[in-house]
Protein backbone atom coordinates (compact mmCIF):
# COMPACT_ATOMS: atom_id res chain seq x y z
CA UNK A 1 0.00 0.00 0.00
CA UNK A 2 1.41 3.43 -0.89
CA UNK A 3 2.32 5.94 1.80
CA UNK A 4 -0.26 8.68 2.21
CA UNK A 5 0.13 12.31 3.26
CA UNK A 6 -1.48 11.34 6.58
CA UNK A 7 1.14 8.61 7.07
CA UNK A 8 3.92 11.10 6.42
CA UNK A 9 2.39 13.65 8.81
CA UNK A 10 1.89 11.03 11.52
CA UNK A 11 5.54 9.97 11.25
CA UNK A 12 6.71 13.60 11.26
CA UNK A 13 4.59 14.51 14.27
CA UNK A 14 5.91 11.45 16.13
CA UNK A 15 9.53 12.41 15.39
CA UNK A 16 9.43 16.18 15.94
CA UNK A 17 8.30 17.48 19.33
CA UNK A 18 5.66 20.19 19.27
CA UNK A 19 6.35 23.25 21.42
CA UNK A 20 4.09 26.01 22.66
CA UNK A 21 4.79 29.65 21.87
CA UNK A 22 6.01 30.09 25.47
CA UNK A 23 8.42 27.15 25.13
CA UNK A 24 9.67 28.49 21.80
CA UNK A 25 10.16 31.96 23.33
CA UNK A 26 12.29 30.42 26.12
CA UNK A 27 14.45 28.60 23.54
CA UNK A 28 14.84 31.79 21.51
CA UNK A 29 15.76 33.78 24.62
CA UNK A 30 18.67 31.39 25.28
CA UNK A 31 20.26 32.90 22.18
CA UNK A 32 21.20 30.03 19.87
CA UNK A 33 17.88 28.96 18.34
CA UNK A 34 17.31 29.31 14.62
CA UNK A 35 13.66 29.97 13.82
CA UNK A 36 12.66 28.85 10.33
CA UNK A 37 9.41 29.87 8.64
CA UNK A 38 8.71 27.26 5.97
CA UNK A 39 5.73 29.05 4.42
CA UNK A 40 5.84 30.42 0.89
CA UNK A 41 7.18 33.98 0.52
CA UNK A 42 3.72 35.32 -0.39
CA UNK A 43 2.31 34.07 2.90
CA UNK A 44 5.12 35.72 4.84
CA UNK A 45 4.67 38.99 2.93
CA UNK A 46 0.98 39.12 3.83
CA UNK A 47 1.25 38.19 7.52
CA UNK A 48 4.81 38.86 8.71
CA UNK A 49 6.94 36.28 10.51
CA UNK A 50 8.28 35.45 13.94
CA UNK A 51 10.77 38.19 14.83
CA UNK A 52 14.24 37.14 13.70
CA UNK A 53 13.04 34.08 11.76
CA UNK A 54 14.44 33.21 8.37
CA UNK A 55 12.06 32.22 5.60
CA UNK A 56 12.92 29.06 3.69
CA UNK A 57 9.98 27.56 1.81
CA UNK A 58 9.31 23.89 2.54
CA UNK A 59 10.47 22.88 -0.92
CA UNK A 60 13.96 24.30 -0.33
CA UNK A 61 14.68 23.09 3.21
CA UNK A 62 16.83 20.12 2.16
CA UNK A 63 19.00 22.29 -0.06
CA UNK A 64 19.43 25.13 2.47
CA UNK A 65 20.28 22.72 5.31
CA UNK A 66 22.86 20.64 3.40
CA UNK A 67 26.37 22.12 3.28
CA UNK A 68 27.11 20.02 0.19
CA UNK A 69 24.68 22.01 -1.97
CA UNK A 70 25.29 25.41 -3.56
CA UNK A 71 22.08 26.62 -1.85
CA UNK A 72 23.37 25.99 1.69
CA UNK A 73 22.40 28.63 4.23
CA UNK A 74 25.13 29.20 6.81
CA UNK A 75 22.52 29.80 9.52
CA UNK A 76 22.14 26.02 9.68
CA UNK A 77 24.38 24.12 12.07
CA UNK A 78 23.60 20.64 13.42
CA UNK A 79 24.41 21.81 16.96
CA UNK A 80 21.82 24.61 16.96
CA UNK A 81 18.28 24.35 18.20
CA UNK A 82 15.91 24.66 15.24
CA UNK A 83 12.32 25.81 15.61
CA UNK A 84 10.17 25.41 12.50
CA UNK A 85 6.67 26.68 11.84
CA UNK A 86 4.17 27.25 9.03
CA UNK A 87 0.51 28.23 8.73
CA UNK A 88 -0.98 25.19 10.47
CA UNK A 89 1.86 22.91 11.59
CA UNK A 90 1.82 20.34 8.77
CA UNK A 91 4.60 21.68 6.56
CA UNK A 92 6.69 22.47 9.62
CA UNK A 93 6.28 18.90 10.90
CA UNK A 94 7.43 17.54 7.55
CA UNK A 95 10.33 20.01 7.39
CA UNK A 96 11.32 19.13 10.95
CA UNK A 97 11.33 15.41 10.18
CA UNK A 98 13.48 16.06 7.12
CA UNK A 99 15.94 18.08 9.22
CA UNK A 100 16.11 15.29 11.81
CA UNK A 101 16.74 12.78 9.00
CA UNK A 102 19.58 15.05 7.85
CA UNK A 103 21.29 14.93 11.26
CA UNK A 104 19.82 17.95 13.02
CA UNK A 105 18.98 16.62 16.49
CA UNK A 106 17.40 19.59 18.27
CA UNK A 107 14.40 20.28 16.04
CA UNK A 108 11.05 21.49 17.36
CA UNK A 109 7.73 22.28 15.67
CA UNK A 110 6.11 25.53 16.79
CA UNK A 111 3.16 24.70 14.55
CA UNK A 112 0.92 27.52 13.39
CA UNK A 113 2.12 31.10 12.98
CA UNK A 114 -1.31 32.34 14.14
CA UNK A 115 -0.76 30.64 17.51
CA UNK A 116 2.48 32.60 17.92
CA UNK A 117 0.70 35.87 17.11
CA UNK A 118 -2.27 35.10 19.35
CA UNK A 119 0.13 34.34 22.23
CA UNK A 120 1.65 37.83 21.87
CA UNK A 121 4.81 36.69 20.10
CA UNK A 122 6.86 39.43 18.46
CA UNK A 123 6.39 39.65 14.69
CA UNK A 124 8.54 41.19 11.96
CA UNK A 125 6.59 42.71 9.05
For the chain, list residues with pLDDT below 70.
none
Write the pLDDT tens digit of every residue in 109-122.
Answer: 999 999 999 999 99
Per-residue pLDDT, 21: 98
* The listed CATH number (2.40.50.1040, 3.40.50.1220, 3.40.250.10, 1.40.20.10) that belongs to domain 5-124: 3.40.250.10
The three state secondary structure string of 36-103 is: EECCCHHHHHHHCEECCCEECCHHHHHHHHCCCCCCCCCCCCCCCEEEEEECCCHHHHHHHHHHHHCC
- The secondary structure of residue 110, as a DSSP letter, is E
Amino acid sequence: MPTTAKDLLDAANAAVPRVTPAEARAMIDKGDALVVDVRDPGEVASTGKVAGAINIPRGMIEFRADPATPYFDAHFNPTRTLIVYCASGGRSALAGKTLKDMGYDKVFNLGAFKDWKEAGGIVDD
